[in-house]
């Protein structure tokens, strides 16, 4: 049996009123473009994590967090290249709760 990768991390909880799906976020492809995705579990919520092509500003991130109730952002870097930051967007299957 395959087990989903799990991450427990402090993240900004979404406050939006509606649920986002793939087409809500990536339909136009201008602001949010991704090159990798995988299914995973984040703080007990199952969904997809997308690796974004470019980093987003805090204002852009806040726009999505306040619009949808199942979207949050993470950032990270490889241990051997800490100057190369990566941005991720996590889209849960259901509403995320604390």
pLDDT of residue 48: 93
For residue 21, give its domain range. 6-92
54, part of any domain: yes
**Structure token pair of residue 28:** 């136009």
pLDDT of residue 2: 65
pLDDT of residue 14: 83
80, part of any domain: yes
pLDDT of residue 50: 92
88, part of any domain: yes
Ranges under pLDDT 50 in the chain: none
pLDDT of residue 98: 65
Number of domains in the chain: 1
């Amino acid at each position: 049996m395959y087990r989903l990768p799990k991450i427990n991390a402090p993240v900004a909880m979404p406050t939006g009123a509606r649920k986002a799906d793939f087409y809500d976020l990536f339909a136009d492809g201008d602001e949010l473009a991704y090159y990798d995705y995988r299914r995973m579990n984040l703080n007990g919520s199952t969904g997809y994590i997308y690796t974004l092509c470019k980093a987003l500003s805090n204002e852009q991130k806040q726009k999505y967090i306040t619009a949808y109730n199942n979207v949050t952002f993470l950032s990270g870097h490889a241990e051997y290249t800490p100057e190369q930051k990566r941005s991720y967007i996590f889209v849960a299957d259901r509403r995320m709760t604390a």
